[in-house]
Amino acid sequence: MSTAIKWFWFASPQTFFPLAGRVAVVCAIGAALLGAAGLYVGFFVAPTDAQQGDAYRIIFIHVAAAWMSMFLYVVMAFWAAIGLAFNTRLSAMMASAIAPTGAMFTFVALWTGALWGRPAWGAYWVWDARLTSELILLFLYLGFMALQAAIDDQRRADRAGALLAIVGVVNVPIIYYSVQWWNTLHQGASVSLTRAPSMATAMLWGMLLMALAFWLYSIAAALARVRCIIRERE
Partner 1 sequence: MIAAIRCVLRRDLLLALRRPSDVATALLFFVIVASLFPLGVGAEPNQLRAIAPGVIWVSALLSSMLSLARLFAADHADGTLEQMLLGAAPLGAVAAAKVLAHWLVAGLPLVAIAPVIALQYDMPVPLYGTLALSLLLGTPVLSFIGAIGAALTLGLRGGGVLLALLVLPLYVPVLIFGAGSVDMAAAGLSALGQLQLLAALLVVSAAFAPWAIATALRISME
Asked if 28 is part of the footprint of partner 1 (rule: CB under 8 A), the reply reads no
171 interacts with partner 1 by CB under 8 A: yes
Rounded to a whole number of angstroms, the minimum distance from the CB of residue 175 to partner 1 is 5
Distance CA 52, CA 81 (A): 43
10 binds partner 1 (CB under 8 A): no
Alpha-carbon distances, residue 38 vs 68, 99, 164, 195, 211 (angstroms): 15, 24, 35, 21, 9
CA dihedral of residues 13, 14, 17, 18 (deg, nearest 10) = -150
Tell me which residues in 29-58 interact with partner 1 (CB under 8 A): none
User: Quick one: 26 or 160, whose CB is closer to partner 1?
Assistant: 160
* Residue choice 26, 114, 160, 199 for contact with partner 1 (CB under 8 A): 160
For residue 109, state whether it binds partner 1 (rule: CB under 8 A): no
Find the shortest distance in angstroms from Cβ 107 to partner 1: 15
* Cα–Cα distance measured from residue 71 to residue 77, given in angstroms and rounded to the nearest whole number: 10
Check residue 72 for interaction with partner 1 (CB under 8 A). no
Which of 115, 67, 103 lies closest to 214, judged by CA? 67
Choice between 156 and 231, CB closer to partner 1: 156
With b for 16 or more beta-carbon neighbours within 10 A and e for fewer, the 10-47 pattern comes to: eeebeebbeebeeebeebbebbeebbebbbebbeeebe
125: left (phi over 0), alpha (psi -120 to 50) or beta: beta
Q: Is 108 in the site for partner 1 (CB under 8 A)?
A: no
Among 81, 114, 115, 142, binds partner 1 (CB under 8 A): 142
Question: How many chain residues interact with partner 1 (CB under 8 A)?
Answer: 29
Give which of 195, 104, 219 is closest to 112, Cα–Cα: 104
Distance (Å, whole) CA 73 – CA 222: 13
Using rule CB under 8 A, residue 124 touches partner 1: no
Q: Is 85 in the site for partner 1 (CB under 8 A)?
A: no
Our CB check for partner 1 shows the closer of 142 and 199 to be 142
Q: Which of 114, 159, 187, 199 binds partner 1 (CB under 8 A)?
A: 159
Is residue 218 within 8 Å of 100, Cβ to Cβ? no
Question: Binding residues for partner 1, per CB under 8 A?
Answer: 136, 139-140, 142-143, 146-147, 150-151, 153, 155-156, 159-160, 163-164, 166-168, 170-171, 174-175, 177-179, 181-182, 185
